[in-house]
Amino acid sequence: MKTTGSQENEGLLVRRIKNGTVIDHIDGGQALNVVKILGITGTTQEALSIATNVPSHDMVRKDIVKLTNRELSKEEVDRIALISPRATINIIRNFKVFEKKGVEIPTLIEGLVRCPNPGCISNTNEPITSKFEVLPKGLHCRYCDWVITRDNITGHII
Amino acid sequence: MSFESAMARLGGTSLSVGSVEACSMAKGETLADTVRVVSGYADAIVIRHPKEGAARLAAEFSTVPVINAGDGAGQHPSQTLLDLYTIRQSMPVEGIEVALVGDLRYGRTAHSLASALFLYNARLHTISPKGLELPATLAAQLKEKGMEITEHDSIDEVIGDVDVLYVTRIQRERFPDSASYFNVASSYRITPELLAGAKKRLIVLHPLPRIDEIDPRVDESPHAKYFQQSRNGVPVRMAMLMQVMK
């Protein structure tokens, strides 16, 4: 694939995007969960490219997600930190990196994860969204005190 | 009922919405709406609800103070305050050895008490039927903070060492049939014979109602403090209501 600019062409698995977001340095195997967190389904309009288990100097293997014509907000970006804290976000405009940023682990997550406790009030028809405090070991339900450990978070994403 | 008694003794009145089945929620009204309506009628809301986190939700939607009087298998903090008060009438709470007995998984009084006892450097001993142990999340949280928690198979193992025997009801519906319930329940029964090996200052507490967990012969024992504990619910809840409404 021939591209312009200084970027090394060889090894690119997917075409560069003109406008949108490239999420790089995702922990190997987590790309599909990143896509899930971003709410991208088969019915959304964005063109999406996913590369998984790409060799990486820093990480041994990493995943990459490229999303055309959509620039992620800070809130969306920070949600990714829950499952891939080393991810980097590149906002692309006209084939160039317009902005590069890391992800910050948020202190509170709302509406992203369902509480696994069937007796929790957040699993009823009440007009609330789930609320979890982010702790070093996982997510703590603000309603019923249930804790989802870090390695179980992806299974509870709404 | 003890909250109503407490309110009456303070000179106020209470409006009871009854059980979830008996109020507007049975018609499909959300708790959030019920709370918004009721907070216009009262100066404080005392809520007991079958779902965990219900009181926290109520506090989000209420314009008046909310007291959690028990949320599902979650917490029962007002019971804990009167439990601590009852213990303190017999001994200093700091550093005591407490045995929690019975259904510790669904028993919300045990959850709140265990969390509070951590603040007093108490050591916990847990004795519960298989499957009804203290929730792993709560036990892990308390152990992580440094609380010493030891699981035992029978009350006999700890009866000579503990200062407080906190007994909770084992609910029949947690078992597949009556026979297995009676089999388990009988092995957790507190009797005068069992208490013969206890420390002199040991007190027996129970949030009540009890079914078969404590032999009625124990009622006359100097160790039995559960009716005193129940009575303490009134002044403690009077203090709570005063605190939130002043």
Q: In CATH, which of 3.40.50.1370, 3.30.70.270, 2.60.120.460, 3.40.190.170 is domain B77-230?
A: 3.40.50.1370
Q: According to the CATH classification, is domain A108-156 in 2.30.30.20?
A: yes
B212 Cα distance to chain centroid? 17
Chain B CB contacts of A117 below 8 Å: 52
Task: Give the separation between CA B115 and CA B134, rounded to whole angstroms.
Answer: 11
In chain B, which residues fall in CATH 3.40.50.1370? 2-72, 77-230
Chain A CB contacts of B71 below 8 Å: 121, 144
Chain A CB contacts of B32 below 8 Å: 126-128
Q: Is B139 on the interface with A (CB under 8 A)?
A: no
Query: What was the pLDDT predicted at A15?
Result: 76
Strands (E) in chain B, as ranges, are 45-49, 66-71, 97-101, 123-127, 149-152, 164-167, 203-205
| Facing residue for A145 by CB, picked from B30, B60, B74 | B74
pTM of the predicted structure, to 2 decimals: 0.83
Please report the residues numbered 95 through 134 in chain A whose beta carbons come closer than 8 angstroms to any beta carbon of chain B.
Answer: 117, 119-122, 124-128
Contact A120 B53 (CB under 8 A): yes
User: What architecture is domain B2-72?
Assistant: 3-Layer(aba) Sandwich (3.40)
Helix (H) or strand (E) holding B246: none
Task: Give the separation between CA B79 and CA B57, rounded to whole angstroms.
Answer: 20
Question: Could you tell me the pLDDT band of residue A10, with boundaries at 50, 70 and 90?
Answer: very low
Most confident of A33-42, A58-67, A135-144, B220-229: B220-229
Question: Could you tell me the pLDDT band of residue B157, with boundaries at 50, 70 and 90?
Answer: very high
Q: Where are the domains of chain A?
A: 20-102, 108-156
Nearest in space to B129 (alpha carbons), one of B198, B180, B197, B75: B180
Question: Nearest 5°: phi and psi at B197?
Answer: -95, 15
Residues with Cβ within 8 Å of residue A132, at least 6 apart in sequence: A108, A109, A110, A112, A113, A115, A139, A140, A141, A142, A148
Contact B51 A120 (CB under 8 A): yes
pLDDT tens column, A86-95 = 899 999 999 9
Contact A144 B74 (CB under 8 A): yes
CATH class of A20-102: alpha beta
Chain B CB contacts of A144 below 8 Å: 52-53, 71-72, 74
Residue type present at position B185: A
Q: Beta partners for A55?
A: A61
DSSP B101: E
Min Cα separation A33/chain B (Å): 25
Query: What was the pLDDT predicted at A136?
Result: 85
Q: Within 10 A of A111 (CB to CB), how many other CB atoms are there?
A: 12
Query: What was the pLDDT predicted at A14?
Result: 66
| Facing residue for B53 by CB, picked from A121, A125, A127 | A121
Chain A CB contacts of B52 below 8 Å: 117, 119-121, 143-145
Per the CB < 8 A criterion, the answer to whether A89 and A100 are in contact is yes
How many residue pairs from chains A and B have C-beta atoms closer than 8 A? Answer: 55
Q: Select the residue from B35, B49, B52, B62 to test the A interface by mutation, using most A Cβ atoms within 10 A.
A: B52
Contact B73 A119 (CB under 8 A): yes
Residues with Cβ within 8 Å of residue A98, at least 6 apart in sequence: A91, A92
pLDDT of A26 over the 90 cut: yes
Which residue in this structure is represented by tokens 């195997």?
Answer: A29
Q: Is A144 on the interface with B (CB under 8 A)?
A: yes
Query: What was the pLDDT predicted at A150?
Result: 84
**DSSP letter string over chain A?**
----SSS--TT--S---SSEEEEEEEETT-HHHHHHHTT--TTS---EEEEEEEEETTTEEEEEEEEET-PPPHHHHHHHHTT-TT-EEEEEETTEEEEEEE----SEEESSB--S-TTBGGGSSSS---EEEEETTEEEETTT--EEEGGGGGGGB-
Nearest in space to B138 (alpha carbons), one of A152, A113, A125, A117: A117
Q: Is B82 on the interface with A (CB under 8 A)?
A: no
B69 Cα distance to chain centroid? 10
- Determine the average pLDDT of the residues in A102-106: 87
pLDDT tens column, A40-57 = 877 777 788 899 999 888
Question: Could you tell me the pLDDT band of residue A2, with boundaries at 50, 70 and 90?
Answer: very low
pLDDT tens column, B10-42 = 999 999 887 767 676 677 899 999 999 999 999
Q: Beta partners for B67?
A: B46
Task: Give the separation between CA B72 and CA B47, rounded to whole angstroms.
Answer: 11
Comparing B20 with B112, the larger pLDDT belongs to: B112
Tokens encoding B71: 């949320």
pLDDT of B3 over the 90 cut: yes
